[in-house]
């Protein structure tokens, strides 16, 4: 009899866990709630995207595999992809960001739900074709600047699935394009793909509008970097000194 009660008790516990798991799963976004183990097939994605993007590049007078540069603007919720041609960068496409989390302003600590702002770089080792979020690449947060201020966080990505807790999430078709272009640039010799993540376009007028923000000083430090690219269409060289970004 005692054994029967033990078995019944164990069954009740398992049933309770199953109910809780189902309730938790029901509140997740649809793409997260999909069964684990579903991964993008990068070979299929390349076979589909490379011919399309090669033709699209040719129509713009660009070479597939040329160096690329990404800019993110939170306020507009867009990601720009620029491609180098004859020493300067040309805008290839502006992609809508499906979702990012937090407000305007930098990421400060692990778990704050903020998407980062600043100057980041994506090496080949940051690419993840086996991501749980379709495809992804790591932005490298915290970088040396973030670390100098004691900021913490991990696995801050640009990825698919349209779900974000601190990342910049795209739709799956868009991350496929972006990922393949970043991957091709790195495969053809680009050392790192620069990514500039800004709160908004750092024009004089917009900076003045943000004068009361606690991040006004931080955004002013980023402004020369933004303006340098706007005027030259060349990715500026940036250094970090005294807990600030500096335009070289």
The CA distance from 184 to 205, in Å, is 37
Strand order in the sheet with 136-138: 99-100, 168-169, 157-159, 136-138, 127-128
How many Cα atoms within 13 Å fall on the side-chain side of residue 56? 12
* SS3 at position 77: coil
- DSSP 8-state secondary structure symbol assigned to residue 161: T
Helix axes 172-187, 42-59, angle to 10 degrees: 80
Q: Could you write out the DSSP letters of every residue in 104-150?
A: SS---STTS-PPP-EEEEE-GGGEETT-TTSSEEE---S-HHHHHTT
Task: Please confirm, yes or no, whether 159 is among the known catalytic residues.
Answer: yes
User: Of 134, 159, 162, 196, which is the active-site residue?
Assistant: 159
Q: Is 192 left (phi over 0), alpha (psi -120 to 50) or beta?
A: beta
User: Of 98, 162, 167, 196, which is the active-site residue?
Assistant: 167
* SS3 at position 172: helix
Task: Please confirm, yes or no, whether 167 is among the known catalytic residues.
Answer: yes
Residues with catalytic roles: 159, 167
């Amino acid at each position: 009899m005692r054994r029967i009660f033990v078995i019944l008790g164990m069954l009740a516990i398992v049933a309770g866990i199953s109910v809780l798991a189902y309730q938790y799963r029901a509140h997740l976004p649809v793409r997260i709630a999909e069964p684990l183990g579903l991964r993008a097939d990068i070979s299929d994605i390349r076979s589909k995207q490379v011919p399309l993007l090669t033709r699209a590049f040719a129509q713009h007078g660009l070479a597939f595999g040329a160096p690329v540069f990404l800019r993110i603007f939170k306020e507009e919720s867009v990601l720009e992809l620029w491609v180098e041609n004859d020493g300067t960068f040309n805008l290839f496409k502006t992609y809508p960001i499906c979702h990012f989390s937090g407000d305007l302003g930098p990421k400060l600590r692990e778990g704050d739900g903020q998407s980062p702002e600043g100057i980041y770089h994506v090496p080949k080792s940051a690419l993840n074709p086996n991501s749980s979020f379709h495809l992804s690449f790591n932005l490298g947060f915290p970088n040396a600047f973030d670390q100098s201020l004691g900021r913490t966080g991990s696995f801050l990505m640009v990825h698919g699935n349209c779900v974000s807790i601190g990342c910049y999430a795209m739709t799956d078709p868009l991350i496929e394009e972006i990922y393949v272009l970043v991957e091709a640039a790195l495969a053809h010799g680009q050392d790192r793909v620069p990514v500039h993540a800004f709160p908004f376009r750092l024009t004089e007028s917009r900076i003045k509008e943000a004068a009361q923000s606690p991040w006004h000083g931080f955004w002013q430090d980023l402004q020369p970097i933004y303006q340098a690219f706007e005027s030259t269409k060349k990715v500026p060289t940036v250094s970090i000194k005294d807990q600030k970004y500096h335009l070289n």
